[in-house]
């Protein structure tokens, strides 16, 4: 990372990017210990106000900060995450500390080893300062309200009456409120894209298998992915660079690494962007439409070739539901059969997990056969376009203090790209970048960019260019 001018003060420090903090550390404007203390205090004090903190790791973090300062003193530079604090969703094991999976029955669960991704970041000298709240069991079985979490409903920093989004709610809220510069989350079917959109932060869901899941709670072996929530597309690249890599102990590992190099990526004018006008004009709730129209105009201004397209016609919801529920039933079989499932906070989740036991092998295999057809259809789709773009969510965040409104909103019969993109792209194991693209009534809205497998650099380059022309990712909630 190049040396440069840093102008960080007490007000801008909580919302600084990884790159800005790195410059300040290397220029010795701030020490890693000072930075760690600053963010630890902020997370420990403000985290509980948003129900975002699961467990403070301030003590260990302080020691790690001292080690980094020693490295920096001797000019031992170990990469862009060196000395920078972060938080991790509480489904990632941290040795000797509780890993609760967001659920009361696992409140005292302690593992002897770190999750692989925690170890990878430790070797990059990143500093873990806390574990962050999540929806219990990452939402397995489905849930009916934001309060389906050991910490209670995770509140949106832009307006505490609203939810931060699930299931990586703590990471979304903590980054948005400036409690951590970045945070690890996970996605099975939308759990990074949703909180990124609701909280106005940038989220990256990597290609399936690019980041090891060893030491992470399993929900669905063939769908689970570990990703990151940050301030900017650039930060996503810096974090993924350290997180990615093969792992012989993760059966789903792609055995690929990731080298962050957006500056050397192809010109945006060479890219073909698949989109559909109705995703921006007809599908969003009416108050959101003008902001999404502006976002689409910005995308068009980037100079890529815009190609009107739509997703192949498949029952994506049914397919992903059968696979996710069948695999979750297998993962949590003992937990469900023992009756411990009844201790969860959300009754509809309890019912959903019990119901997941009724899927047959036939249901699962039929869904997996359809999934192979979907993957093949997407392979063909990406022969004609390089990136798909659509709203991340068509509605604003849900209220945090009441059950979700289950009434299906009136949407057009005709589908474009966005209606099924989260489920379809997760079924195909494709990477996605979600970033803020506007505000409606003081609450953020977001876009999602999806590409073929292992095109994270392309998505990040596109996101960087979008963020160079907008300032939504730089706006701060009043804390």
Please indicate, yes or no, if residue 6 is contained in any of the structural domains.
no
pLDDT at 5: 52
Note whether residue 191 is domain-resident.
Answer: yes
**Of 31, 40, 89, 212, which is the active-site residue?**
89
pLDDT of residue 285: 97
pLDDT of residue 1: 36
Give the separation between CA 52 and CA 44, rounded to whole angstroms. 10
pLDDT at 266: 77
User: What confidence score (pLDDT) does residue 3 get?
Assistant: 42
**Any domain includes 43:** yes
Q: Which residues of 176-196 are buried (b: 16+ CB within 10 A; e: fewer)?
A: bbbbbbbbbbbbbbbbbbbbb
Q: How many domains does the chain have?
A: 1
pLDDT value of position 7: 67
* CB-count burial class (<10 Å; 0-12, 13-18, 19+) for 143: buried
In the prediction, which pLDDT does 144 show?
97
Specify if 7 maps to a domain: no
Q: What is the pLDDT of residues 125-149, one digit of tens each?
A: 999 999 999 999 999 999 999 999 9
336 in a domain, yes or no?
Answer: yes
8 Å CB contact between 322 and 369: no
Single pTM value for the model = 0.97
Query: Is 161 within the bounds of a domain?
Result: yes
Which residues pair with residue 84 across a beta bridge? none
Residue 19 lies in a domain: no
- The two tokens of residue 152 are 């209670």
Q: Rounded to an integer, what is the distance from CA 289 to the centroid of its chain?
A: 24
The 3-state DSSP composition of the chain as helix, strand, coil percent (nearest 5) reads 40, 15, 45
Residues paired with residue 432 on neighbouring β-strands, in sequence order: 205, 450
Neighbour tally for 440: CB within 10 Å? 16
Q: Is residue 133 part of a domain?
A: yes
* Residue segments in the chain with a per-residue pLDDT below the cut of 50: 1-4
pLDDT value of position 6:
56
- C-alpha torsion sign, points 403, 408, 410, 412: positive
CA distance 431 to 429: 7
Does 330 qualify as catalytic in the annotation? Answer: no
Q: Does residue 266 contact residue 457 with C-beta atoms inside 8 Å?
A: no
Tell me the Cα Rg of the chain. Answer: 21
Nearest 5°: CA angle at 252, between 250 and 257? 80
Q: The domain that contains 469 carries what CATH number?
A: 3.90.1300.10
Q: How many whole angstroms separate alpha carbon 39 and alpha carbon 403?
A: 33
Catalytic residue among 31, 133, 147, 167: 167
Kindly name the residue from 191, 197, 356, 425 that is annotated as catalytic.
191
Q: Is 348 a catalytic residue?
A: no
Concatenating the DSSP letter of every residue in 293-327 gives: HHHHHHHHHT-PEEEE-------HHHHHHHHHHHH
191 tagged catalytic: yes
What is the residue range of 234's domain?
A: 26-479
């Amino acid at each position: 990372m190049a040396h440069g001018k840093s102008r960080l003060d007490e007000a801008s420090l909580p919302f600084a990017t990884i790159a800005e903090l790195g410059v300040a550390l290397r220029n010795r404007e701030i020490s890693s210990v000072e930075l760690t203390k600053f963010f630890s205090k902020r997370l420990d004090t403000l985290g509980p106000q948003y129900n975002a903190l699961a467990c403070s790791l301030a003590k260990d973090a302080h020691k790690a900060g001292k080690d980094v300062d020693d490295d920096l003193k001797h000019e031992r530079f170990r990469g862009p995450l060196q000395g920078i604090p972060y938080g991790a969703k509480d489904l990632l094991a941290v040795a000797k500390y509780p890993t609760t999976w967001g659920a009361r029955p696992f409140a005292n669960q302690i593992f002897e080893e770190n999750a692989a991704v925690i170890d990878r970041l430790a070797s990059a000298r990143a500093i873990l300062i806390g574990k962050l709240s999540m929806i219990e069991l990452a939402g397995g079985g489905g849930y009916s309200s934001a309060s389906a979490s050991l910490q209670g409903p995770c509140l949106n920093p832009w307006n505490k009456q609203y939810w931060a989004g699930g299931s990586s709610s703590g990471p979304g809220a903590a980054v948005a409120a400036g409690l951590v510069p970045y945070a690890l989350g996970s996605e099975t079917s939308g759990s990074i894209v949703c909180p990124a959109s609701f909280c106005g932060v940038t989220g990256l869901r990597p290609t399936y298998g690019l980041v090891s899941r060893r030491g992470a709670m399993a929900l669905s072996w063939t769908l689970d992915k570990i990703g990151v929530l940050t301030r900017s597309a650039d930060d996503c690249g810096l974090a993924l660079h350290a997180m990615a890599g093969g792992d012989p102990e993760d059966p789903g590992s792609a055995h690929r690494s990731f080298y962050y190099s957006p500056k050397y990526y192809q010109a945006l004018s060479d890219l073909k962007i698949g989109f559909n006008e109705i995703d921006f004009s007809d599908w969003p709730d009416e108050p959101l439409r003008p902001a999404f129209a502006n976002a689409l105009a910005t995308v068009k201004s980037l100079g890529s070739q815009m190609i009107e397209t739509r997703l192949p016609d498949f029952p994506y919801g049914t397919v992903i539901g059968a696979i996710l529920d069948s695999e979750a039933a297998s993962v949590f079989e003992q937990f469900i059969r023992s009756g411990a499932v009844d201790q969860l906070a959300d009754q509809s989740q309890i019912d959903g997990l019990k119901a997941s036991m009724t899927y047959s092998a036939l249901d699962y295999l039929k869904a997996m056969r359809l999934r192979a057809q979907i993957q093949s259809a997407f392979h063909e789709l990406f022969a004609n376009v390089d990136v798909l773009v659509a709203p991340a969510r068509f509605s604003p965040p849900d209220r945090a203090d009441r059950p979700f409104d289950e009434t299906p909103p009136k949407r057009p019969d005709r589908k474009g790209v966005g209606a099924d993109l989260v489920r379809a792209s997760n079924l195909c194991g494709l990477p996605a970048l979600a970033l803020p693209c506007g505000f409606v009534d003081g609450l953020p809205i977001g876009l999602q960019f999806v590409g073929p497998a292992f095109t994270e650099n392309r998505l990040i380059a596109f996101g960087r260019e979008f963020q160079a022309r907008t300032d939504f990712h730089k706006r701060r909630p009043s804390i």
